[in-house]
């Protein structure tokens, strides 16, 4: 598999949960593992995530190969059907392995999550309020089949970047159902904390200053009689 992307470009369904629980990026977690700085639970999580990334990368490899076979100029004959069938079998096997690795990584993550309760900010930016309102009406995170770009779709067409979604997840305001494939769309919903943030009273801004008196009009000299 020579066309596989680097590990740092391969995202998994557990990345946002891991980053929330450990308080650092998965890349930093891996670097700390390589440097021998992690305790046993975090080291086990880093190892399980590394295996999950490799499995996720294989799924992407066979998916791209299948797309190329289907869209190529090769003759539509039995040889092509054989190659497609073989690639489908390889993709299915890679997906099964990915699911097994995800289960292992999730099991390693659970005790760490239990020891890292998330706190909701008392006040959230207006932009995040708009995003939460849009997500409350239904939202899905999609991955483009060819470019692998991630985008959040909402009925109101509110623009929500993947970085903003990750921040809302890290604050415990939203969650997504990673059991759905990314290409079909992973539902994004509000958590109890997210709903509470929307219903919490907003702090009033600083009192406005008293209006300045209008400038004095210049005196008009009257002609002498």
Output the pLDDT for position 73: 81
Q: Is the pLDDT of residue 144 over 80?
A: no
Q: Which of 75-84, 85-94, 206-215 has the lowest mean pLDDT?
A: 206-215
- Tens of pLDDT along 178-192? 887 777 788 999 888
Average pLDDT over residues 72-78: 85
**Which percentage of the chain shows pLDDT scores above 90?**
32
Output the pLDDT for position 206: 46
The CATH code for residues 126-199 is 1.10.10
- pLDDT mean across residues, the chain: 81
Q: pTM value? A: 0.53
- Tens of pLDDT along 160-178? 888 899 889 888 899 988 8
Query: Any idea what the Cα angle at residue 144 is, between residues 140 and 146, rounded to 5°?
Result: 165
The better pLDDT of the pair 195, 218 is held by 195
- Tens of pLDDT along 19-71? 888 888 899 899 888 888 888 999 999 999 999 999 999 999 999 999 899 88
Question: Would you state the torsion angle of the CA atoms of residues 94, 98, 101, 107, taken in this order, to the nearest 10 degrees?
Answer: -160
Domain boundaries, the chain: 7-114, 126-199
pLDDT band at 145 (very low <50, low <70, confident <90, very high): confident
Output the pLDDT for position 199: 64
Tell me how crowded residue 103 is: count the other CB atoms within 10 A of its CB. Answer: 12
The better pLDDT of the pair 216, 186 is held by 186
The better pLDDT of the pair 203, 174 is held by 174
- Nearest Cα neighbor of 108 from 10, 18, 206 is 18
What would the two tokens of residue 81 be?
A: 């059907």
């Amino acid at each position: 598999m020579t066309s596989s992307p680097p590990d740092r470009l391969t995202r998994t369904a557990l990345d946002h949960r891991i980053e929330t629980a450990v308080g650092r990026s998965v890349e930093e977690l891996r670097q700390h593992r390589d440097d021998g700085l992690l305790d046993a639970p975090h080291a086990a999580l880093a190892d399980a995530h590394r295996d999950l990334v490799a499995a996720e990368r294989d799924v992407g490899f066979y998916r791209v190969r299948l797309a190329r076979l289907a869209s190529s100029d090769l003759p539509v004959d039995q040889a092509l059907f054989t190659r497609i069938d073989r690639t489908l079998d390889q993709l299915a096997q890679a997906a099964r392995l990915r699911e097994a690795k995800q289960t292992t990584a999730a099991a390693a993550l659970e005790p760490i999550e239990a020891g890292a309760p998330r706190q909701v900010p008392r006040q959230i930016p207006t932009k995040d309020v708009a995003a939460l309102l849009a997500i409350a009406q239904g939202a899905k995170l999609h991955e483009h089949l060819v470019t692998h770009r991630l985008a959040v779709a909402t009925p109101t067409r509110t623009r929500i970047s993947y970085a903003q979604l990750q921040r809302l997840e890290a604050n415990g305001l939203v969650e997504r159902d990673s059991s759905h494939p990314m290409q079909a769309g992973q539902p994004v919903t509000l958590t109890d904390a997210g709903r509470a943030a929307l219903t919490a009273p907003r702090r009033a801004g600083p009192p406005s200053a008293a209006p300045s008196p209008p400038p004095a009009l210049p005196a008009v000299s009257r002609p002498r009689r």
